[in-house]
């Protein structure tokens, strides 16, 4: 499609992406924008990530850019670093043929058909066939500003269809994360997964167990922190993928409309609202929410079976639940620490006598813990909601009102009155 027949403009592109494209082109290499940035521009959305593909090898790319680093084992990529922005450059991928000599050094598959190594280079036509979905196989050529559509991506956009290139089962087996990507694109772009691409997902969902936990963490962020988290969650449930990601929570969601379902959906609704209104969100809050009821259940189990008190059972359950989750999805320490604090503060928020309420307000994680408590209260009601409302009022009250609230609480719950401080007499100086 020549420039006059499409809506993709250089004005919508990153300046750094253009620098990379033009340097490759001026050095005699083919250079294209590909994937999501082209798709989003055609959909009238603002592109965010700019991926470049070329016939230059990773080593040739590195020779052109001093700010380049090569990454990846499964497939070698070049990252061109411009401050906080990184432009990813990939060499055209080719077909892997197991009969080729030396193939084991550049291409390797597992017994399940998953690609473990894939450093096979080829032509732009072969690269298009190796792309995952038809809407991601459109290439913007910096040489003449045309778009090459190799797999019917334009038609898929018109049909609002997420369709895999090639045999769906083979492609999912090559990389099971494509099942998550299909769900993410369907929710993000308000499209549907085509029948032939949807059919194998439920059968192949257990293959997610073969994906490294660290990689799944990054995928979860894309799935649930995109502004369409609730729609994505419902699709994950529909295709039996959610239970592969959160195996401790999934059994608690089997009964429609129960508190666990309500809690998860409300957390995602609130997160979507915050993202879509430009407010900050943290993955720690979502992970804390998704593991809260498994934590409560494990705590009760330890109290009944082991005869432990609530404090000891809670701390043991906390470690158990976190350990099981990170075997499926690796949670970095910068998030696992705040998750633990949010949970532990749920036990401290009911304790408000004396200076405790004031000390709680000064805690770095008070706001996250309070928001968590408020959400629990809205779902469960009763004493929990009353406690959350008390903290809502206490935060906004004047100093005099806060003292009255604490005195009223003391009288209501029958706590002993505070003893006046004894002032020790100063010893008389010795003569």
When pLDDT is cut at 50, 70 and 90, the band that residue 107 belongs to is: very low
pLDDT higher than threshold 70 for residue 111: no
pLDDT higher than threshold 80 for residue 381: yes
Query: Residue holding tokens 């906080």?
Result: 84
Range in 86-95, 173-182, 235-244 the model is least confident about:
86-95
- Measured CA angle at 342 (ends 336, 348), to 5 deg: 140
Average of per-residue pLDDT across 308-331 = 96
Q: Residue 16: helix, strand or coil by DSSP?
A: helix
Residue-level pLDDT at 412:
79
- As a whole number of Å, the CA-based R_g of the chain is 28
Greatest mean pLDDT range, 75-79, 98-102, 116-120, 359-363: 359-363
The DSSP 8-state label assigned to residue 3 in this structure reads: G
Residue-level pLDDT at 430:
65
pLDDT higher than threshold 50 for residue 117: no
* Assigned token pair, 300: 């009760």
β-bridge partners, 86: 81
Q: Rounded to 10 degrees, what is the CA torsion of 21, 61, 64, 52?
A: 10
Residue-level pLDDT at 102:
44
pLDDT higher than threshold 80 for residue 391: yes
Positions marked active-site: 49, 51, 132
With beta carbons less than 8 A apart as the criterion, state whether 123 and 92 touch: yes
The string of DSSP codes covering 118-133 is E--B--HHHHHHHSSB
> Could you tell me the CA-to-CA distances from 101 to 97, 107, 110, 411 in Å, in that order?
9, 11, 18, 84
**Residue 120: which residues within 8 A CB-CB, separation 6 or more?**
93, 94, 95, 96, 106, 107
| 128-161 pLDDT tens trace | 998 999 999 999 999 999 999 999 999 999 999 9
Which class for 378: exposed (0-12), middle (13-18), buried (19 or more C-beta within 10 A)?
middle
Residue-level pLDDT at 420:
55
With beta carbons less than 8 A apart as the criterion, state whether 302 and 313 touch: yes
Range in 106-115, 129-138, 391-400 the model is least confident about:
106-115
Residue 136 phi, psi (nearest 5): -105, 10
Query: Residue holding tokens 């420039």?
Result: 3
* Assigned token pair, 138: 């459109």
> Could you tell me the CA-to-CA distances from 45 to 40, 42, 233, 280, 340 in Å, in that order?
5, 7, 23, 21, 38
Mean pLDDT of the chain: 90
Range in 115-124, 186-195, 209-218, 260-269 the model is least confident about:
115-124
| Region at 257 (left for phi over 0; alpha for psi -120 to 50; beta for the rest) | left
β-bridge partners, 117: 108
Distance (Å, whole) CA 211 – CA 214 = 8
Distance (Å, whole) CA 260 – CA 240 = 17
Predicted structure pTM score: 0.85
Average of per-residue pLDDT across 28-52 = 92
Residue-level pLDDT at 101:
43
| 54-69 pLDDT tens trace | 999 999 999 999 999 9
Distance (Å, whole) CA 178 – CA 100 = 27
Q: How far is CA 71 from the centre of its chain?
A: 22
Residue-level pLDDT at 337:
96
């Amino acid at each position: 499609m020549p420039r006059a027949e499409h809506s993709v403009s250089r004005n919508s592109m990153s300046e750094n992406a253009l620098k990379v494209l033009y340097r490759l082109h001026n050095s005699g290499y083919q250079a294209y924008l590909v994937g999501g940035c082209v798709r989003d521009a055609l959909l009238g959305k603002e592109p965010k990530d700019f991926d470049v593909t070329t016939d230059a090898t990773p080593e040739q790319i590195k020779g052109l850019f001093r700010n380049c680093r090569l990454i990846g084992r499964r497939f070698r990529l070049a990252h061109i670093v411009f401050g906080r922005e990184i432009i990813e450059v990939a060499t055209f991928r080719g077909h892997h043929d197991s009969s080729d000599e030396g193939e084991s050094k550049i291409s390797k598959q597992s017994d399940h058909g998953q690609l473990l190594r894939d450093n096979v280079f080829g032509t732009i036509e072969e690269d298009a066939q190796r792309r995952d979905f038809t809407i991601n196989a459109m290439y913007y050529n910096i040489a003449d500003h045309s778009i090459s559509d190799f797999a019917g991506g334009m038609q898929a956009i018109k049909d609002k269809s997420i369709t895999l290139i090639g045999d769906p089962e083979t492609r999912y087996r090559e990389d099971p994360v494509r099942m998550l990507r299909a769900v993410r694109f369907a929710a993000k772009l308000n499209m549907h997964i085509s029948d032939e691409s949807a059919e194998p997902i439920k059968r192949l969902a257990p293959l997610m167990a073969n994906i490294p936990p660290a990689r799944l963490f990054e995928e979860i962020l894309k799935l649930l922190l995109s502004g369409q988290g609730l729609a994505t969650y419902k699709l994950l449930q529909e295709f039996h993928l959610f239970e592969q990601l959160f195996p401790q929570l999934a059994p608690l969601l089997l009964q429609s409309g129960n508190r666990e379902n309500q809690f998860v959906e409300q957390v995602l609704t609130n997160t979507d609202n915050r993202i879509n209104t430009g407010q900050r969100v943290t993955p720690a809050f979502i992970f804390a929410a998704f593991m809260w009821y498994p934590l409560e259940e494990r705590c009760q189990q330890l109290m009944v079976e082991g005869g432990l008190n609530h404090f000891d059972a809670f701390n043991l359950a906390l470690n158990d639940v976190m350990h099981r989750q990170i075997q499926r999805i690796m949670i970095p320490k910068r998030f696992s620490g705040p998750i633990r604090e949010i949970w532990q503060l749920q036990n401290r928020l009911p304790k408000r006598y004396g200076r405790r309420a004031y000390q709680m307000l000064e805690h770095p994680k008070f706001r996250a813990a309070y928001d968590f408590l408020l959400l629990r209260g809205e779902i469960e009601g009763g004493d929990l909601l009353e406690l959350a409302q008390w903290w809502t009022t206490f935060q906004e009250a004047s100093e005099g009102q806060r003292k009255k609230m604490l005195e009223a609480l003391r009288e209501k719950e029958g706590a002993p009155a505070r003893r006046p401080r004894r002032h020790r007499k100063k010893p008389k100086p010795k003569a």
